[in-house]
Amino acid sequence: MEDAVPRIAMVGVSKSFPGVRALESVDFCLRAGEVHALLGENGAGKSTLIKIMTGALRQDAGEIRIDGRPATLDSPAAARTHGISTVYQEVNLVPTLSVTKNLTLERQPRRFGLISWRDAAKRARERLARLSVDIDVERPLGAYSVAIQQLVAIARALEEDTRVLVLDEPTASLDAREVELLFQILRDLKRQNIAILFITHFIDQVYRIADRISVLRNGRLVRTAAAVELHRLELISLMLGRELEAVDSAPPPAAAPAAGEPLLAAEGLGRRRYMGVFDLVIRAGEVVGLAGLLGSGRTETAKLVFGAVRSDTGRVRFKGRPITARSPRRSVRLGIGFCPENRKAEGIISELSVRENIVLAMQTKRGWLRRLPVDEQNRLASEMINVLAIATSDAEKPVGQLSGGNQQKVILARWLASKPRLLILDEPTRGIDVGAHAEIVALIRRLCKEGMALLVASSELEEIVAVSHRVAVLRDRCHVGEIAGAGVTRENIVRMIAGG
Amino acid sequence: MKERYIPIAGTIFVFIALFLTGGALYKHFLSTLVLGDLLADNAFIIIAAIGTTFVIISGGIDLSIGSMIGFVGVVMAGLVGHGWHPLAAAAAMIAFGVLYGGIVGWIIDICDIQPFIITLAGLFLLRGSCFMVSLDSVPIKHSFVDAFSAWRIPLPGSGFLTSSAIVMLLALLAGVVIAHFTRFGTNVYALGGDRTSAALMGVPIRRTTVMIYALGGFYSALGGVIYALYTASGYPLAGSGVELDAIAAVVLGGTLLTGGVGLVVGTLFGGLISGLIATIIDFDGTLTSAWARVVVGLLLFLFILAQRTLIGTRNALRQSIG
Amino acid sequence: MSREHTNSVGLTAYPRAVLVRLAEKRAVWPLLALALILVVDGFISPEFFSIRIVEGHLFGSLVDVVYRSMPTAVVALGMAVVIGTKGIDLSVGAVIAICGAMITWRLHMGDPPLIVLGAALAAALLCGLWNGLLVALLDIQPIVATLILMVSGRGIAQMINLLYGGTDPSFSSDFFAAISTGHLAMLPSRLFVGAGIFALLWLLMRRTAFGLFVEAVGGNAAAADLAGIDAKMIKLAAYLVSGLCAGLAGVVITADTHTSDPVSAGLYIELDAILAVVIGGGSLAGGRVYLGLTLLGALIIQSLTTSILMSGVPPEYNLVVKALVVLIVLLLQSHKFRARIRRSARPAGKHLP
């Protein structure tokens, strides 16, 4: 089987979006009867690759061959006629409909012109039986656990003629037992000679199920190898790599502040099915890094510390005093800021001007009655535009019209303007060009020198190593250890992530 | 019991409880006479509400049905006055309702405008058109109209099933079949449950949206026809506020205002509940009609609150997982 | 590429660029619309623009337009704030009815006018509080939440009327006549009420941070939450504002009619108010509040009504014309519709799938 023509081969495939090069001449092949794991951080190009393979997007350059013959996948329907079925990360079914209806939506069996639900239910049960799932198909899909919903989605995707199955992070919300069930099904499908592309960020699962592994980084396919040949440490290193000299050549951070009173201390913080219990201490003038793979709990930790997601155990002390009734509002008042990872959904308010976006956090701190005078707002906005080199024609431009990197800077400006004691940055340099990247790293160091405490979550190890005094390492939604001082090196972090 | 039947069970329970309460309070209440009158008096609202049920299940809303009822009435009266047979006039008006609804659905889809604002404009348009046709009540005089209101099936006891009630029950049956036994019906539920997923799963969004509002137009026009025949007149102010009664009937019938969940048959009971409240107030004699609106509002609040808690727990569950 | 872009870049099209920049100013289109209507009015009735002084009061069609538009304008101002939070308040008409019943009831009970006024506004605020609690705390969609009061509010008004027997819901009160139909310094006194609430809201929206918070919550609720804004309180406050505005409109309307009419007081005013906000450029998707433009929207609606009445067209056409105006404004505002027009304006043969 090794030498057989691959079921799907992508040759020199490239794809660009305005301002972003999502895929750069990627050569990738998927063989019949294999489980092929595709790994990479957010923005590495995984979803673009899947979308091209399933006909949702068309490549700018390059060729796709199916069973050795060039094929045009210009629509999802075209991909389906080639036997390519996809199950997306978010269960793309209708939770309010019954399982039967979800499984038979576009072709229900009829009798005398009307739908026969008895036949439909029978057909639904048959499709589920292929995956050895036996549930009451009359209940609404939403009544079942995410695992079952995921299986229903797979059952829906699996047609009689399915030859390629693409699974986008199918295990993201499953527990260990459910994952095992899914893997049994995958092994079974593999025996039916179906090619399976499995996108995930759980390294353990990759080694349990995958035959081959491909790693994408910044739109390039950096390695494809058999799972047995690719060492775990090497794999993590490949995923978290970065080729930015601007950061690597920067001097190491200033000496860590003396172990003083913690500014913020999280004790036993956690939330069921969201993030394992952890302790975290941050001192004034200190940068604490959060390192780990995608899905390891970086964002989750940041959100729990800030209070954006309510914890169900543990407590947080700020300057020695416990914070009661934690919420973003309470945190902002205490002097904690949070730049979210998803700036479009959680950061910018795109209709409002750059100025209004910048003064927002400071204004909430002052309360609604003590409005910042317009002169002061203008001064603050132009100062921030200068300091962070935000590219905008003027401060009154709606922030939605700015480029992604500049939007990120506006959010950063929002928090800097509010003069926080502690600033939490989740992926502060995602989607930012090289120059701005170095600026932000420099800014983090300067802020820290001025006595601000920072908690920085990032998928880029070099960035973490460059700025952090101390690094909390995460794996599978648990804190697995801490590294401080001279021990903060790329190798140590990778080893800890790998579980060495 | 299956989840999807819990709301309807609640609705039927409320209906029976109200009916029995009426029986305990007043003599002659527990009779087929009261039941028959209830069905006859509320027939046009329930018919219109069946269309609203589809619209709401799809995640939309239709505020123009009250005006549609008025418009259908005055135009029908005018047509019959010009010598049309009432049935021909009714068919013309129903065709108009379908066309009108189809256009509304088309605009909603191609322009991505919220249904409530566009149907609000429709409310203005149709009500204004009523006034343009006639400012006063116009009687509909035709032997067919007399025959229609005279024809009735006796029920055991002293009650009757009037012709409007029979049309309503037939319309309901058709609605149930469309909702539960056609692909279009399933698509309506899918659209209301999750629009994006439905589109990904191959539901034709535009065609379905157009058909949903066309069906809504069909039912509200039919409601208008029945109201015109029932009152034997066309009155430009007829049906004012019926859109609210219809929405109330749908919600009391257990349909979620957020879309995706609901049963057409529930709307029958929802409509009957508000009718029953009015009947009880009527029987009492000392209460005014003001009570009816307040009690319906209160029930609406309780039902929405109950829906909210049901959805709330489900969302909380999903959030803790996701 | 968008039209604005190509035009502002091309230097040869300099005069056009100026026009384009002018067209981008939000006030231009509503002002043009108003001007157009008024010019047409001027043709219909040569006396339209004349303003005389009769018995020491300004008198004329223009004054009449402003006078009549006042209740709608006040309701629309509150609606603009609610719409800014991505909400809607369908209950304003019912609140007006409740206010009317409160005034009549308390006057029949012999309360002094100021107490009556206070009671009426308190009732309106209570209505706003109810809506706000449903939307902000119970998280019910605004259309649905305010529908409840819309359905039952007029019934509540009827029941309030029963409190004093309800046989004769009319009253006479010099105080209320004075604030609604009376005059002050040559002008109708209700204009001062309207100007007062406008000034108050303008201060609230533009001189405190409340306006910024409303627009942040309406623009991106998740981001506003992370920035530390208490979205629940902001929404609650918005519905209180809307309730208060509806209450003031209710006072003026009731004082004008000298009676409580639970069935038709303020009927369809929610539609006019929403229409005024939309004509003023406010998007139903929330995120922006334009008080001045909303006022302009209310004036446009009223001058449209006035010109229909003047032109000899039967008044019945009024509703139809309004409906068509809403449709046109909605279509012009719809991004999808504009994109469609732009695409079809492009040279043929470049159709996208």
Average the pLDDT over each of A25-29, C67-71, C163-167 and give the range with the smallest value.
C163-167
pLDDT digits (tens, 9 = 90+) for A353-381: 999 999 999 999 998 888 999 999 999 99
pLDDT value at residue A245:
43
Residue scoring higher pLDDT (A201 or C287): C287
CB atoms within 10 A of CB A237: 19
Within an 8 Å CB–CB cutoff, is residue B306 touching chain C? Answer: no
Tokens of A173: 């919300």
Burial bucket for residue B200 (CB in 10 Å: 0-12, 13-18, 19+)? middle
Average the pLDDT over each of A85-94, A162-171, A434-443, B311-320 and give the range with the smallest value.
B311-320
Within an 8 Å CB–CB cutoff, is residue A274 touching chain B? Answer: yes
- Domain shared by A284 and A420, yes or no: yes
Whether residue A256 is predicted with pLDDT greater than 70 in this model: the reply is no
Domain boundary among A221, A239, A257: A239
Cβ contact (<8 Å) for C323 and B128?
Answer: yes
- Domain shared by A250 and A235, yes or no: no
Whether residue A423 is predicted with pLDDT greater than 50 in this model: the reply is yes
Cβ contact (<8 Å) for C152 and B298?
Answer: yes
- Helix, strand, coil shares, percent, chain C, to 5: 70, 5, 25
Most confident of A420-434, B128-142, C314-328: B128-142
- Who among C207, C212, C227 is closest to A414 (CB)? C227
Query: Which of B293, B298, B302, B311 best probes binding to C when mutated, by most C CB atoms within 10 angstroms?
Result: B293
Within an 8 Å CB–CB cutoff, is residue B190 touching chain A? Answer: yes
How large is the greatest C-alpha to C-alpha distance in chain A, in angstroms?
82
pLDDT value at residue B13:
93
pLDDT digits (tens, 9 = 90+) for A473-487: 998 889 999 998 888
**Contact list, B196 vs chain A (CB under 8 Å):** 92
- Domain shared by A279 and A370, yes or no: yes
Query: Angle B99-B104-B108 (CA atoms, 0-180°, nearest 5)?
Result: 145
Dist. CA B199–CA B187, nearest whole Å = 10
Query: Which of C151, C163, C304, C318 best probes binding to B when mutated, by most B CB atoms within 10 angstroms?
Result: C151
Burial bucket for residue A76 (CB in 10 Å: 0-12, 13-18, 19+)? middle
CA B52 to chain centre: 6
The percent of residues in chain C predicted with pLDDT above 70, rounded, is 89
CA–CA min distance A175, chain B (Å): 10
CB atoms within 10 A of CB A229: 9
Dist. CA C279–CA C284, nearest whole Å = 11
Whether residue C184 is predicted with pLDDT greater than 90 in this model: the reply is no
For C223, nearest residue in chain A (alpha carbons): A346
Tokens of A119: 């036949």
What's C113's domain CATH number? Answer: 1.10.3470
For C155, nearest residue in chain B (alpha carbons): B290
Domain boundary among A239, A266, A294: A239
Whether residue A301 is predicted with pLDDT greater than 80 in this model: the reply is yes
Number of folded domains that form chain A: 2
Domain that holds residue A57: 8-239
Q: State the average pLDDT for chain A.
A: 85
How large is the greatest C-alpha to C-alpha distance in chain B, in angstroms?
67
CA–CA min distance B168, chain C (Å): 24
- Beta bridge mates, A478: A475
Whether residue A105 is predicted with pLDDT greater than 90 in this model: the reply is no
CA–CA distances in Å: residue C207 to residues A209, A357, B24, C282: 62, 17, 61, 20
Most confident of A100-114, B177-191, C310-324: B177-191
- Does some domain include residue A93? yes
Query: Which of C319, C326, C329, C333 best probes binding to B when mutated, by most B CB atoms within 10 angstroms?
Result: C319
Mark which residues 113-172 of B lie under 8 Å from A by CB: none
- Does some domain include residue C149? yes
Dist. CA B1–CA B10, nearest whole Å = 12
CA–CA min distance A339, chain C (Å): 9
pLDDT digits (tens, 9 = 90+) for A14-42: 988 776 778 889 999 999 999 999 988 77
For A412, nearest residue in chain C (alpha carbons): C227
Full strand arrangement of the beta sheet holding A453-457: A336-339, A422-426, A453-457, A287-291, A470-475, A478-484
Cβ contact (<8 Å) for A329 and C220?
Answer: no
CA–CA distances in Å: residue B210 to residues A303, A323, B260, C172: 43, 54, 17, 53
A444 in Cβ contact with A458 (< 8 Å): no
Q: Provide mean pLDDT across the span A327-333.
A: 92
CA–CA min distance C339, chain B (Å): 10
Whether residue B242 is predicted with pLDDT greater than 90 in this model: the reply is no
- Does some domain include residue C167? yes
- Domain shared by A463 and A347, yes or no: yes
CA A338 to chain centre: 17
pLDDT value at residue C40:
85
The percent of residues in chain A predicted with pLDDT above 70, rounded, is 93
- Does some domain include residue C278? yes
- Who among B114, B122, B300 is closest to C148 (CB)? B300
ipTM: 0.84
- Domain shared by A349 and A253, yes or no: yes
**Contact list, C154 vs chain B (CB under 8 Å):** 293
Dist. CA C145–CA C131, nearest whole Å = 6
Cβ contact (<8 Å) for A368 and C216?
Answer: no
At residue A186, what are phi and psi to the nearest 5 degrees? -65, -40
pLDDT value at residue C317:
80
Place of tokens 């603050």: A380
**Contact list, C324 vs chain B (CB under 8 Å):** 125
pLDDT value at residue C348:
43
Cβ contact (<8 Å) for A94 and B189?
Answer: yes
Query: Which of C205, C208, C212 best probes binding to A when mutated, by most A CB atoms within 10 angstroms?
Result: C212
In the three-class reduction of DSSP (H, G, I as helix; E, B as strand; rest coil), residue C29 is classed as: helix
At residue A35, what are phi and psi to the nearest 5 degrees? -105, 115
Cβ contact (<8 Å) for A332 and C213?
Answer: no
**Contact list, B4 vs chain A (CB under 8 Å):** 98, 140
Chains that touch C (3 or more CB pairs under 8 A): A, B
Domain B3-321: assigned CATH number: 1.10.3470
For A366, nearest residue in chain C (alpha carbons): C209
Query: Which of A75, A97, A273 best probes binding to B when mutated, by most B CB atoms within 10 angstroms?
Result: A97
- Does some domain include residue A375? yes
Q: How confident is the model at residue B290 (pLDDT cuts 50, 70, 90)?
A: confident
Dist. CA B30–CA B39, nearest whole Å = 14
B192 in Cβ contact with B59 (< 8 Å): yes
Chains that touch B (3 or more CB pairs under 8 A): A, C
For C222, nearest residue in chain A (alpha carbons): A346
Which sign, positive or negative, has the C-alpha torsion A254, A255, A256, A257?
Answer: negative
Looking at residue A375, its amino acid is D
Q: Which residues of C touch A (CB under 8 A)?
A: 207-210, 212-213, 215-216, 219-220, 222-230, 287-288
- Who among C138, C141, C319 is closest to B305 (CB)? C138
Number of folded domains that form chain C: 1
Dist. CA A466–CA A252, nearest whole Å = 6
- Does some domain include residue A269? yes
- Beta bridge mates, A318: A264, A321
pLDDT value at residue B312:
59
For A373, nearest residue in chain C (alpha carbons): C207
Whether residue C240 is predicted with pLDDT greater than 70 in this model: the reply is yes
Q: Shortest CA distance to A96 belongs to which of B157, B310, B215?
A: B310
Dist. CA B275–CA A362, nearest whole Å = 55
Q: State the average pLDDT for chain C.
A: 85
- Domain shared by A317 and A259, yes or no: yes
Whether residue C345 is predicted with pLDDT greater than 90 in this model: the reply is no
**Contact list, A338 vs chain C (CB under 8 Å):** 226
pLDDT value at residue C313:
78
- Domain shared by A374 and A265, yes or no: yes
CA–CA distances in Å: residue C152 to residues A298, A486, B241, C95: 50, 70, 12, 10
- Domain shared by A150 and A273, yes or no: no
CA–CA min distance B197, chain C (Å): 21
Whether residue C268 is predicted with pLDDT greater than 60 in this model: the reply is yes
Strands (E) located in B119-267: 138-139, 152-154, 160-162, 233-234
For C162, nearest residue in chain B (alpha carbons): B288
pLDDT value at residue A196:
94
pLDDT digits (tens, 9 = 90+) for A174-220: 777 778 888 888 898 899 899 999 988 778 888 889 999 999 888 88
Within an 8 Å CB–CB cutoff, is residue B321 touching chain A? Answer: yes
Q: Provide mean pLDDT across the span C81-98.
A: 95
- Domain shared by A228 and A259, yes or no: no
Q: Provide mean pLDDT across the span C231-242.
A: 96
Place of tokens 């050895």: A132
Q: How do strand A287-291 and strand A470-475 relate by DSSP bridges?
A: parallel
pLDDT value at residue A244:
43
Cβ contact (<8 Å) for B3 and A139?
Answer: yes
- Domain shared by A311 and A203, yes or no: no
pLDDT value at residue B275:
92
pLDDT value at residue B321:
36
CA–CA min distance A150, chain B (Å): 13
CB pairs under 8 A between A and C: 79
- Domain shared by A373 and A487, yes or no: yes
CB atoms within 10 A of CB C263: 11
Q: Provide mean pLDDT across the span C8-22.
A: 54
Dist. CA C270–CA C273, nearest whole Å = 5
Domain that holds residue C83: 70-336
Q: How confident is the model at residue B317 (pLDDT cuts 50, 70, 90)?
A: very low
Q: Provide mean pLDDT across the span B154-174.
A: 91
Average the pLDDT over each of B207-211, C78-82, C115-119, C151-155 and give the range with the smallest value.
C151-155
pLDDT value at residue C3:
39
Within an 8 Å CB–CB cutoff, is residue B296 touching chain C? Answer: yes
pLDDT value at residue B105:
96
The percent of residues in chain B predicted with pLDDT above 70, rounded, is 95
**Contact list, B123 vs chain C (CB under 8 Å):** 271, 323
